[in-house]
Structure formats: structure tokens, C-alpha cells
């Protein structure tokens, strides 16, 4: 039995603009998906998903079995979850040159599903790592990231960016620009996440920004401005000491850029009433800055606050279903039990 875990992520800067070749800085956060894998002889895949922010389900497929899960959860969510696991299994079989390999897989995750925190990427990354290790064919984190991207690409019909999978596999802060993804130094940033209990439709939101950008020069300028502020944020991170707690000045400068980024994303039409309300609750509570994270339309906001103030204020905000501290995860995918 092999267990691996991988972190979710928030965008410090740059979502949406990254689609048009601007840089983005996602950061891995200490909320993990854990995947336990045990090879089985009969070629079947059996998955127990204890906590995917759903009620949990069990599903078996492969061989002669194709049992649909009996769960009290939206079919689309269950199908999406099994599709990601299926794609991760295909990558592990290919990497280990074991096309007939079967698995018992248990998934546990404390990353809200479909809310911009990279839950599917974390499951795919931890799944590929655990399954290849269980088959005695361990991969480097880079290779796990590459294969996890291929898996997401297959499930999402080519609509995947490398950000989520690379960030989850490598951990820490990451810089993504086009197909180039690399880790960058960052101090331990005090992220706080607010979750409205929902999520937006990434495809629709991306299409909305694309249409605005094509229609209005000022919308195209807005996207470029997101790129400019991301580069400014990168300069701040590069000048900081990655091994010490971030200074108040650094947090306040990063926070100012996050606030600006949220305003530009709102101008591009991807915020939501709930996200704006959570952003303001965080700012009022003394956060250095706050913004939506991911595609938007609903889901999560991320704020910077080393004190308990923002987490507590979000807990009491009507629009917020759950809030939690999610420190920068310096470690990406890792073995929990060999």
C-alpha cells in the first residue's frame, strides 16, 4: 500500500491573463489530497473517495465490472472525479509499462472541489505518484507534473494550463508563462482562504474574458495590466528573503497588488457578489490584500494575513461557507506511507 499526498494552490497573481501569454504566480498551499494505492491482480480499478467535498462514493471499473456509484452527489461531480482518476491510472500504467495493472485506490482530500484551489490536479498528481511507486516505477516530481498535465489535458479536452499540476507536484511558489513553468523563491506567505461553497464555470468565464478582450481595446489593456502587476509582484518576491517570515512592508506591497488584481478581474467580469463580499470582509479585518483565486464566478478568495483576524471575519461573513488558513506549501507531492 502506497500513500502520496499533493497540495492544492491559490493564484497570488495572474489568472485569466495567463491564458493570453502573460505570466502568473500560483502558490501551493497546505491543503492536500491523499491518494492510497494498492495494486490488484485482476486489472480492475476500485476507487473509494471518502471526502471530495461530497458525501463520498465507491466505484469500480475495468475488467467485466462497470459499476456506477450510488451516491448522494451530483452525477457530474462524480463523473469528473472518476475521469481524473481514470486518466491518472492510464498515465501510471504507461509510465510503469504495465498496461494491465489494476488498483484499489482511496482518495481523501481537504481541498474544496471545483473552487479554484486545484483539487483535481492534486488528486491526479498524488495518484500518479502513488500508483507508479506501487508498481515499483517511481518518477521524478518533474515527470509526475508532466504526466499529470497530460492527464488533465485529456480530461479537459485540451483546456488545461500547466499551472495547477506543476504547482501541486513541485510545491512552493511557481511562475507560469505559456508552456514555461518553473519554481521561484518566496517567503512563507500567510494565506487565508474564504470559500463561498460554490464555484464558477471555468470555460464560460474564460470565454467571457476572451470576448471582452476582442471587443474592447481597454479590456485587452486590462489583461496586459494584470501581466504588469504580476511582474511587479515577481520582483517583490525575488527581492525578499525566502527563508524568513515576510516583513510587514512586503505583505503590504503584495497585498496592494492583490487588491489591484481583484479590481481588474472584476472589471473583466469574473468576480461575483459573494467573492466581492468576502474580499471586503478580509480587507475590513485588516488583511494586507485580498482577491479571488482561479477562474472566479464563485468559489474562493485568498487574502494575506498573519493574524487570526481575516479567518475569523470570513467565518462570520454571510457569503462565506468556510474559511481556513492555508500556508504556502513548500513541499509538493510527497510520500506519506511507502
The reply on whether position 161 binds ligand PMV by CB under 6 A is: yes
Specify the residue, 150 or 164, whose C-beta has the smaller distance to ligand PMV.
164
Q: Which stretch binds ligand PMV (CB under 6 A): 12-20, 76-84, 274-282, 309-317?
A: 12-20
Handedness of CA 114, 118, 33, 37 (dihedral sign): positive
Active-site residue, from 164, 196, 259, 305: 164
- How far is residue 113's CA from residue 51's CA, in Å, rounded to a whole number? 10
Is 153 within 8 Å of 87 (Cβ atoms)? no
The reply on whether position 194 binds ligand PMV by CB under 6 A is: no
The reply on whether position 19 binds ligand PMV by CB under 6 A is: yes
Radius of gyration of the chain, Cα coordinates, nearest whole angstrom:
19
Question: Active-site residue 164, yes or no?
Answer: yes
Q: How far is the CB of 125 from ligand PMV (least distance, A)?
A: 14
Q: How far is the CB of 246 from ligand PMV (least distance, A)?
A: 24
Residue in the shown chain whose Cβ atom is closest to ligand PMV? 294
Cell of 294: 482561479
Q: How far is the CB of 318 from ligand PMV (least distance, A)?
A: 23
Is 145 within 8 Å of 165 (Cβ atoms)? yes
Specify the residue, 117 or 240, whose C-beta has the smaller distance to ligand PMV.
117
Total residues contacting ligand PMV by CB under 6 A comes to 13
Binds ligand PMV (CB under 6 A): choice among 3, 8, 15, 139: 15
Q: Which stretch binds ligand PMV (CB under 6 A): 64-72, 142-150, 157-165, 247-255?
A: 157-165
Alpha-helix residue ranges (DSSP H) falling in 24-118: 75-95
Q: How far is the CB of 161 from ligand PMV (least distance, A)?
A: 4
Tell the burial category of 217 from Cβ atoms under 10 Å away from its Cβ (0-12, 13-18, 19+).
Answer: exposed
DSSP state, residue 197: S
The reply on whether position 16 binds ligand PMV by CB under 6 A is: yes
**Binding mask of the shown chain, residues 92 to 131, with x at each position contacting ligand PMV by CB under 6 A:** ------------------------x-x-------------
DSSP of 76-101, one letter per residue? HHHHHHHHHHHHHHHHHHHHTT-TT-
Instruction: Pick the closest to residue 92 from 51, 37, 34 (CA basis).
Output: 37
Positions 275 through 334 that interact with ligand PMV (CB under 6 A): 294-295
Cell of 72: 448522494
The reply on whether position 29 binds ligand PMV by CB under 6 A is: no
Cell of 257: 497588488
- Bridge-based pairing of strands 45-51 and 102-109 is parallel
List Cβ neighbours of 228 (8 Å cut-off, separation of 6 or more).
none
Specify the residue, 15 or 261, whose C-beta has the smaller distance to ligand PMV.
15
Cell of 243: 527563508
Q: How far is the CB of 101 from ligand PMV (least distance, A)?
A: 29
The helix-helix angle for 309-316 and 273-284 (nearest 10°) equals 140
Q: Which stretch binds ligand PMV (CB under 6 A): 15-23, 74-82, 138-146, 215-223?
A: 15-23
Q: How far is the CB of 122 from ligand PMV (least distance, A)?
A: 11
- Bridge-based pairing of strands 102-109 and 25-40 is antiparallel
Q: How far is the CB of 7 from ligand PMV (least distance, A)?
A: 13
Catalytically active residues are 164
Residues that bind ligand PMV (CB under 6 A): 15-16, 18-19, 116, 118, 161, 163-164, 202, 206, 294-295
Amino acid at each position: 500500500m502506497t500513500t502520496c499526498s499533493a497540495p492544492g494552490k491559490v493564484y497570488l497573481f495572474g489568472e485569466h491573463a495567463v491564458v493570453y501569454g502573460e505570466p502568473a504566480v500560483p502558490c501551493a498551499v497546505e491543503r492536500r489530497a491523499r491518494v492510497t494505492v494498492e495494486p490488484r491482480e485482476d486489472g480492475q480499478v476500485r476507487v473509494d473517495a471518502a471526502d471530495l467535498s461530497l458525501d463520498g462514493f465507491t466505484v469500480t471499473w475495468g475488467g467485466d465490472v462497470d459499476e456506477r456509484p450510488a451516491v448522494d452527489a451530483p452525477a457530474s461531480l462524480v463523473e469528473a472525479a472518476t475521469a481524473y482518476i481514470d486518466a491518472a491510472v492510464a498515465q501510471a500504467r504507461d509510465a510503469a509499462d504495465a498496461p494491465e495493472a489494476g488498483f484499489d485506490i482511496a482518495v481523501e482530500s481537504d481541498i474544496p472541489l471545483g473552487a479554484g484551489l486545484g483539487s483535481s490536479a492534486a488528486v491526479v498528481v498524488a495518484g500518479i505518484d502513488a500508483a507508479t511507486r506501487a508498481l515499483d516505477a517511481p518518477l521524478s516530481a518533474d515527470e509526475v507534473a508532466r504526466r499529470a498535465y497530460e492527464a488533465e489535458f485529456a480530461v479537459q479536452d485540451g483546456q488545461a494550463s500547466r499551472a495547477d499540476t506543476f504547482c501541486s507536484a513541485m510545491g512552493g511558489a511557481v511562475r507560469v508563462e505559456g508552456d514555461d513553468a518553473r519554481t521561484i523563491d518566496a517567503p512563507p506567505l500567510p494565506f487565508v482562504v474564504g470559500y463561498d461553497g460554490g464555484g464558477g464555470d471555468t470555460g464560460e468565464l474564460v470565454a467571457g474574458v476572451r470576448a471582452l478582450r476582442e471587443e474592447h481595446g481597454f479590456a485587452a489593456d486590462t489583461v496586459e495590466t494584470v501581466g504588469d502587476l504580476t511582474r511587479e509582484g515577481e520582483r517583490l518576491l525575488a527581492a525578499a528573503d525566502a527563508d524568513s517570515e515576510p516583513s510587514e512592508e512586503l505583505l503590504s506591497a503584495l497585498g496592494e497588488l492583490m487588491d489591484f488584481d481583484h479590481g481588474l478581474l472584476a472589471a473583466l467580469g469574473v468576480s461575483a457578489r459573494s467573492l466581492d463580499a468576502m474580499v471586503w470582509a478580509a480587507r475590513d479585518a485588516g488583511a494586507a490584500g485580498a482577491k479571488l483565486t482561479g477562474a472566479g464566478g464563485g468559489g474562493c478568495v485568498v487574502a494575506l494575513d498573519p493574524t487570526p483576524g481575516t479567518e475569523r471575519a470570513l467565518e462570520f461573513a454571510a457569503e462565506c461557507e468556510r474559511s481556513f488558513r492555508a500556508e504556502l506549501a513548500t513541499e509538493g507531492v510527497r510520500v506519506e506511507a511507502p
